Structure 1
Amino acid sequence: MKILSIVGARPNFMKVAPLHRAFQQCSDVRSVIVHTGQHFDARMSDVFFSQLELPKPDYYLGIGGGSHAQQTARIMLEFETVVEAEKPDVVLVVGDVTSTIACALVAVKMHIPVVHVEAGLRSGDRRMPEEINRILTDSIADQLFVTEQAGLENLKREGVEDRKVHFVGNVMIDSLIHYRRKAAETRTVEKLGLKSGEYILMTMHRPANVDSEAGLRSILQIIEDMVRYRKVLFPIHPRTLNNLGRFGLLERLQATDNLELMEPQGYLEFLNLMEYAAVLVTDSGGIQEETTYLQVPCLTFRDSTERPVTVDLGTNQLLTDLNPETVHRKVVEILEGRAKKGVIPPLWDGKAADRIVEILAGNYRKTEPAQRVADPTFG
């Protein structure tokens, strides 16, 4: 069985890494990695391949930047040639980035079964390009692997057949568990002269939050409030950095006392920073899951979340707008020991990739040509 696994943006790497390791344990499975190049900054891409012990991609499409339409079109054109050359049995896509839907569309139109890992997540906000990518990918995928109960309910409501849907756990947590010790060996927190609970960790990159002057001014006020209580570590996303410069706000940020501005961190370094933070302030999707597993308080600037288990069971709290007063109150509550308590969700145990591989091996193991013609869906 030959599987093409697609990566394109930073969150994909942590999801494909445990799957690739699990595939390598199967003597009759060949795992081929295709990197679309959707994230083309080495700090956002190359370092993750090395830290997650992924091999050099078998294919690098070099797509780079551009609008959603431009990226989608270029990925589809380049990926089609890969499928023609490799003739895979399965195309595996993860998450909800442009590469996910682009490669899924190519595979389906070339009659190759599509497997979607992290299926069924829904924010209910169709203004988010990721939401459109999730809905479309799930509607054409042959097998859908789900991380939480809400995913099962969403897919059932959308009419997806039960036989296609599998509740297996979270491959992002597989990576966290596998690399937690290695992350500790980076001693990132110690090198900054800090100890557990002595700092607040912040990330901010979503267009809704960082593409307007008003949003950035609110973020600056939030930071200026938080540094009164703890040192704030802010690995700054290129998009956020560029917009701060565009609106003439970068000098104000750089002049803030008790703030450590940092370049984007590698996976291991950031995992070490997350584990010992007093609180995470973010607009990220994956961080909501990672902090839930680590039992670290998380404040997320989003109108809704596609990962409701992090709120229902975990340590995550949604803040629906960039209101500095609300954030100030929540941060103080957490620092005073009144943080929301959470538990680790079901099947977030580091074994999701093993469950996925077991199911794929049963459904898509290579058969004789005559049988493949008779059963084109492969189960």
Structure 2
Amino acid sequence: MTATAPHAVVVAGARPNFIKVKPVLDALAADGVRTTLVHTGQHYDDAMSGVFFADLGLRPPDHHLEAGSGSHAVQTAAVMTAFEPLLGRLAPDVVVVVGDVNSTLACALVAAKANIRVAHVEAGLRSGDRTMPEEINRIVTDRLSDLLFAPSPEGVDHLLAEGARPETVHLVGNVMVDTLLACRERARARSTLADLGLQAGEYGLVTLHRPGNVDDPAVLDGLLAALGKVATRCRLVFPVHPRTASRLAGRLPDGVRPLGPLGYLDCVALQMAARLVLTDSGGVQEESTALGVPCLTLRENTERPITVTEGTNRVVGCSPAAVVAAAFEWLDEPPPPRCPALWDGKAGERISSVLVRSLDGRSRG
């Protein structure tokens, strides 16, 4: 690597970001790009951050902003005020942001105002629901970005319909699937199921963390009642997100077993051996499709419709009756495994190839 190698600052802030930046960092390093990894600290405890770095083989961050928690405004502002002086010192050729969390928006905004190019990995995803903070983050980040890396064709369609210049939009596949495929055999070899007393194909996996599901007592009560009915047919395990734990205290129905936060490899091991997944997580929708596991999304919409049209996901909403009916149907007759094109483990390489070509000039276009 020479002193004139292009320099990319890669930003990660929350647990899904760590999974997504690993293949990008590896591919950029292989292509001779100097990288600086910035951890904003949006997820900051070991259960939500440190264990993921270890499981993924992700190098320690070069800089940690320690933004911490808070309201959306407080957290976004904390990331921006910490990132701005760091970016001034680093003076990179490009800032790479991933996903749709507050750190993504904050760092994209700082870089754009500093006239530094922004590359958005996982661009173009839309749920159509602007009550979701993530949807606002996606829209604004895409408008600020100079390079837009879409994981699936509908992302490209959204970006072009919103006025993005075609030469800035690139269909590259799904970086989360890159990491999943790279780690699948390591996850399979772990003793996760044995340690929990589980047998492959004899349990369902639940994840819930969206504010619309866990912060509204009426919605949460309905979902818990539905899970209790599903558990009469298939016992369920529920790794509980920290923000959900206090809302569930003493309220889980029989047959639903709570677990503490898990590392990445344990999550994959549980997911790949599950009979059914019930979730409100976008990433879990993608992972279940890549693994060929039936998934029911407990939301009214999804920003990842390709998991429905080309995968094993169904969006069922939050009505208890609809959740139970769909779960019983798929326990009786699960969908066949299907996986979208370009979800082949090479998205990071495609992203790096585009970035290297775009950095040849080094000026922001």
Structures share a fold, TM > 0.5? yes
Name stretches of at least 5 consecutive residues in structure 1 with no aligned partner.
245-249
The aligned counterpart of 2:359 is 364
Q: Confirm whether residue 20 of structure 1 aligns to residue 17 of structure 2.
A: no
Report how many aligned residue pairs link the two structures.
360
The aligned counterpart of 2:343 is 348
The aligned counterpart of 2:3 is none
SS of equivalent to 1:252? coil
Superposed structure 1 runs of 4+ greater than 6 Å apart: none
The amino acid of 2:228's aligned partner reads E
Q: Distance in 2 between matches of 1:107 and 1:376?
A: 11
Deviations 1:213-266 (A, max 9, x none): 21221122122112211221000111211223xxxxx2232xx44332100111
Q: Distance in 2 between matches of 1:14 and 1:314?
A: 20
Percent sequence identity over matched residues?
Answer: 48
| TM-score, normalised by the number of residues in structure 2 | 0.96
Q: Could you say if the C-alpha distance between residues 252 and 96 of structure 1 is closer, same or farther in structure 2, counting changes exceeding 3 Å?
A: closer
SS of equivalent to 2:250? helix
The amino acid of 2:329's aligned partner reads E
Q: Confirm whether residue 260 of structure 1 aligns to residue 265 of structure 2.
A: no
Q: Distance in 2 between matches of 1:65 and 1:216?
A: 23
The Cα shift of 1:122 comes to 0.4
Q: Distance in 1 between matches of 2:255 and 2:129?
A: 36
Contact 1:117 1:145 in 2 (8 A): yes
SS of equivalent to 1:45? helix
The aligned counterpart of 1:202 is 206
The aligned counterpart of 2:229 is 225
Contact 2:95 2:119 in 1 (8 A): yes
Q: Distance in 1 between matches of 2:70 and 2:255?
A: 36
The equivalent position to 2:312 in structure 1, one of 308, 311, 315, is 315
Contact 1:199 1:277 in 2 (8 A): yes
Name stretches of at least 5 consecutive residues in structure 2 with no aligned partner.
1-5
Q: Distance in 1 between matches of 2:125 and 2:254?
A: 39
Q: Distance in 1 between matches of 2:228 and 2:99?
A: 34
The Cα shift of 1:137 comes to 0.6
Contact 2:227 2:324 in 1 (8 A): no
Written as runs of structure 1 = structure 2, the 5 A alignment for 1:248-327 is 250-253=249-252, 256-321=253-318, 323-327=319-323
CA RMSD of aligned residues (A): 1.2
| TM-score, normalised by the number of residues in structure 1 | 0.92
The aligned counterpart of 2:62 is 58
The Cα shift of 1:342 comes to 4.5
The aligned counterpart of 2:99 is 95
Q: Confirm whether residue 171 of structure 1 aligns to residue 168 of structure 2.
A: no
SS of equivalent to 1:221? helix
Q: Distance in 2 between matches of 1:327 and 1:216?
A: 13
SS of equivalent to 1:261? strand
Q: Distance in 1 between matches of 2:297 and 2:247?
A: 20
The Cα shift of 1:54 comes to 1.1
The amino acid of 1:32's aligned partner reads T
Q: Distance in 1 between matches of 2:305 and 2:149?
A: 17
Q: Confirm whether residue 329 of structure 1 aligns to residue 334 of structure 2.
A: no
The amino acid of 1:251's aligned partner reads G
Q: Confirm whether residue 4 of structure 1 aligns to residue 9 of structure 2.
A: yes
Contact 2:298 2:323 in 1 (8 A): no
The aligned counterpart of 2:35 is 31
Contact 2:15 2:52 in 1 (8 A): yes
Deviations 1:87-123 (A, max 9, x none): 1011000000000010001001111100000000000
The amino acid of 2:251's aligned partner reads R
Q: Confirm whether residue 140 of structure 1 aligns to residue 144 of structure 2.
A: yes
Contact 1:313 1:342 in 2 (8 A): no
